[in-house]
């Protein structure tokens, strides 16, 4: 039986690691592919920035995200200034790994650290023909957000806690993200009142 432990001309076949490295080098050999990779990395980091801006995250999560984003830009910068093709491939591979760590880390946080069973309270969004949506604010009493999370009137949404603005008016915090709405525009759905809800930390 033929011995397949050697390649052509009696040379040992390339290891899987060597073949993988060659495949990655060939992938990033094209400037267009390198540019596409940089664009994808930038989009991922930009998406994380939007999530961070909308969500209310613990300090340690914000610190970790800051480190990861800094590492991302560092690896991209190193890839752009590397003096050999091999170094460019290596740093682009590192940048892609860091970029992938961001969504994976976000999913891990959501599943293992932010998945506690929180008691929520459904409210009906009141309105009329003139006010078709209820705009969110970033904190109780603040001006409506330009983007935010607008709620169409006539729908029911879940809220988790209450807060007060400087005038003492009650605001409700949406169950997801850092979005606040005046309680005067919301009606409880179910056997509870706003006084039964916890105060937001």
- What are the pLDDT digits (tens) for 111-152? 666 645 568 899 999 876 566 889 999 999 999 988 788 898
Number of domains within the chain: 2
Q: How far apart are CA 183 and CA 169, in angstroms?
A: 8
pLDDT level of residue 54 (50, 70, 90 thresholds): very low
What 3-state class would DSSP assign to 102?
helix
Q: Do 134 and 105 lie in a common domain?
A: no
Which parts of 7-126 fold into alpha helices (H)? 16-27, 31-54, 59-81, 85-112
Mean pLDDT of the chain: 76
Secondary structure class of 199 (helix, strand, coil): strand
End-to-end CA distance of the chain: 74
Q: Which residues pair with 170 in a beta bridge?
A: 164
When pLDDT is averaged across residues 172-193 and rounded to a whole number, the result is 91
| Residue 174 sits in the same domain as residue 98 | no
Give residue 169's pLDDT. 93
Kindly state whether residue 165 falls inside one of the protein's structural domains. yes
Question: Which residue segment(s) compose the domain that 131 sits in?
Answer: 121-196
| Shared domain check, 14 and 80 | yes
Highest mean pLDDT among 56-65, 100-109, 170-179: 170-179
């Amino acid at each position: 039986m033929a011995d397949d432990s050697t390649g052509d001309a009696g040379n040992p076949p390339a290891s899987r690691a060597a073949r993988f490295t060659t495949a990655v080098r060939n992938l990033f050999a094209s400037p267009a592919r390198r540019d596409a990779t940089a664009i994808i990395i930038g989009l991922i980091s930009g998406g994380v920035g939007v999530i961070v801006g909308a969500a209310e995250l613990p300090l340690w999560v914000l610190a970790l995200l800051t480190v990861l984003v800094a590492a991302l830009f560092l690896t991209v910068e190193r890839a752009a200034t590397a003096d050999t093709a091999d170094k460019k491939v290596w740093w682009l591979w590192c940048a892609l790994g860091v970029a992938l760590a961001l969504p994976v880390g976000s999913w891990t946080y959501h599943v293992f650290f932010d998945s506690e069973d929180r008691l929520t309270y459904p409210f009906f969004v009141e309105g009329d023909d003139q006010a078709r949506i209820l705009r969110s604010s970033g904190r109780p009493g603040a001006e409506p957000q330009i983007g935010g999370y607008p709620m169409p009137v006539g729908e029911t949404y879940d809220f988790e806690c209450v807060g007060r603005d400087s005038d003492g008016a009650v605001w409700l915090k949406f169950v997801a993200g850092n979005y606040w709405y005046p309680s005067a525009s919301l009606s409880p759905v179910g056997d509870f009142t706003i006084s039964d809800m916890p105060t937001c930390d």
